[in-house]
Structure 1
Amino acid sequence: MAVDQRGYSAGARPDSIADYAIANLVSDIVGMAATLLTQTGNNTKFHLVGHDMGGSVTWAVAEQHPELLISTTVLSTPHKNAFAAAYNMSGNPQQAASSYISVLQGSGGEAFMLANFYGSYGGVVPDATLFVSRFQNDPGALTAALNWYRAENFTAEDGTVVTAPVTYIWGSQDPFLLKESAVNTANFCSGPYQFVQLPGHAHFLADEVPQDIASLLQQQFAAKLT
């Protein structure tokens, strides 16, 4: 099941930045999963897959609710502690790679995205024009998306580790999330852990190499059937 998270649906788009705090995003996933599992009659555990901001939420669910997860797969996004360690180190290239975040958090974030969206995603995301059109025609959708950044959920370092099983998939040419934090992520996973590096690929892995990602997910799911 692929679901619209809060802000990405007109019917679930709160106005306050505080509504996009990580606690609420985690609660959304847990609640949606419980509802879907009840409807399908399956067991109480599920596989969880997330990318980018969704990957950050996936990590948080894995930290807080490992008992709910059969497997955890994160595309591109390192564990928050690995990211924070790199970002907070003076002179680390992660700071420059993440410089766009402060722009998106500011009041000019919407204008910046509308001016640069297609240049950033065109040629990488096959349906980039559809995304741009959606944001242009529904400004509330863009503000809600940027409120994920404005809630400042994802740069604080703490002592948490993940005990749930994790597969972390990262593209070696990711311009936003660099190698140091990707490699360091292993240090914050105490359960079964697999790091899959995709050489020559960048950030939008599900769009760049959809068949490769699908195969990796199928392997992940099949390995946990027993």
Structure 2
Amino acid sequence: MSLARLLRVRGDGLDLQVTVMGEGPPVILLHGFPENSHCWRHQMPALAAAGFSAWAPNLRGYPPSDIPHRRGDCALPHLVRDVLGLVQATGFPRVHLVGHDWGGIVAWAFAGAHPELVERLVVLNAPHMQSFRENIWRGGQFLRSAYAGIFQLPWLPEAALSAGGFRLLRSMFGTARPGAYSAADIDWYVETLGHDGALSAALNYYRANARAGAMDMARAHVRSQTLVIWGERDPALSVRLLDGLDRYVTRLRVQRIPQAGHWVQNEAPGEVNDALLGFLREGPP
């Protein structure tokens, strides 16, 4: 089995810690909230065994990556430039890009802004923001997204999520299929966000990108070959967000996983790995 190694990679004005496993064409794996690179623990060995190099950063604000302390430092353009630094660090002219949740939104934005750098794109339970805009009033999506409005409040979300040993944050993983997470997995995520300033930085992804026009980069048309993997039992994101997606993604394939929810790569790792590897192994169209 390929051994993992840790790198420090310069992003947009700060450093990211990246776990790398394997040799070969790079696959950059972007996590979401409130996870970190550990969420790809099932995918990285499979990618390495298949002849790829898996690059899983902790995104900005998630230690041991640097923590930005200004809200605006978590705006989407900074996140996209962080990925640009990762692509350059691989030494390859193009990469495969995979993202889940906030990592998926960043992946949509990066693929739209830098199509010349993306070989193939895979997005897991993260909406293309133009589709989100058009479908927000369908499938109860507006109510499902209410938490993002609450996250706009100062200090209260931090206090609520961290109270009682991060009891509320831990409960977010309770929506997953039984067995998807061990207590140690959840402890890993909580420990990361327990660092001074980390939870605020993670919430600043929501705050910095709530203003009008802030998400325009994630509304761009995507021309890369794209696979969307969607756990249909996601309590936060309706399957209706897939409706009309092919209007904004030129070469789109959708893999629905009915028995999984939002944490799809952890709830159904075998199905996700089969879909992911099958897609990446196809080679040029």
2:3 maps to: none
Q: Is the 8 A contact 2:131 2:241 kept in 1?
A: yes
Q: What SS is found at the alignment partner of 1:166?
A: strand
Q: 1:225 to 1:184 in 2, by over 3 A?
A: closer
1:40 maps to: none
Number of equivalences: 217
Q: 1:151 is aligned with what amino acid?
A: A
1:128 maps to: 186
2:15 maps to: none
- Work out whether 1:164 is the aligned partner of 2:224: yes
Deviation larger for 126-135 or 140-149:
126-135
- Work out whether 1:143 is the aligned partner of 2:200: yes
1:111 maps to: 159
Q: What SS is found at the alignment partner of 2:149?
A: helix
Structure-1 separation of matches of 2:65 and 2:236: 31
Q: 1:134 is aligned with what amino acid?
A: T
Q: 1:50 is aligned with what amino acid?
A: G
2:233 maps to: 173
Out of 211, 215, 226, the position equivalent to 2:274 is 215
Structure-2 separation of matches of 1:206 and 1:48: 15
Q: What SS is found at the alignment partner of 1:163?
A: strand
- Work out whether 1:9 is the aligned partner of 2:63: yes
RMSD: 2.1
Q: 2:83 is aligned with what amino acid?
A: I
1:153 to partner: Cα distance? 5.5
- Work out whether 1:44 is the aligned partner of 2:60: no
Structure-2 separation of matches of 1:181 and 1:169: 12
Residue by residue over 1:79-108, the C-alpha shift from the partner in whole angstroms, topping out at 9 and shown as x without a partner, is 111111122x3x761010011111222121
Structure-2 separation of matches of 1:201 and 1:60: 25
Q: 1:77 to 1:154 in 2, by over 3 A?
A: farther
1:73 to partner: Cα distance? 0.2
Report which structure shows greater RCO (CA 8 Å, sep ≥6): 1
- Work out whether 1:83 is the aligned partner of 2:132: yes
1:9 to partner: Cα distance? 2.6
- Work out whether 1:100 is the aligned partner of 2:100: no
1:71 to partner: Cα distance? 0.2
Q: Is the 8 A contact 1:7 1:144 kept in 2?
A: yes
Structure-2 separation of matches of 1:94 and 1:33: 33
Q: What SS is found at the alignment partner of 2:228?
A: strand
TM-score by length of 2: 0.70
Q: What SS is found at the alignment partner of 1:2?
A: strand
Q: What SS is found at the alignment partner of 1:201?
A: coil
Structure-2 separation of matches of 1:32 and 1:24: 13
Structure-1 separation of matches of 2:276 and 2:77: 26
2:4 maps to: none
1:16 to partner: Cα distance? 0.8
Q: 1:49 to 1:59 in 2, by over 3 A?
A: same
Residue by residue over 1:25-80, the C-alpha shift from the partner in whole angstroms, topping out at 9 and shown as x without a partner, is 1111011111122xxxxx40110000000000000011111111110000001211
Out of 35, 43, 58, the position equivalent to 2:107 is 58
TM-score by length of 1: 0.88
Structure-2 separation of matches of 1:166 and 1:133: 34
Question: Which one has a larger percent helix, Structure 1 or Structure 2?
Answer: 1
Question: Which one has a larger percent strand, Structure 1 or Structure 2?
Answer: 2
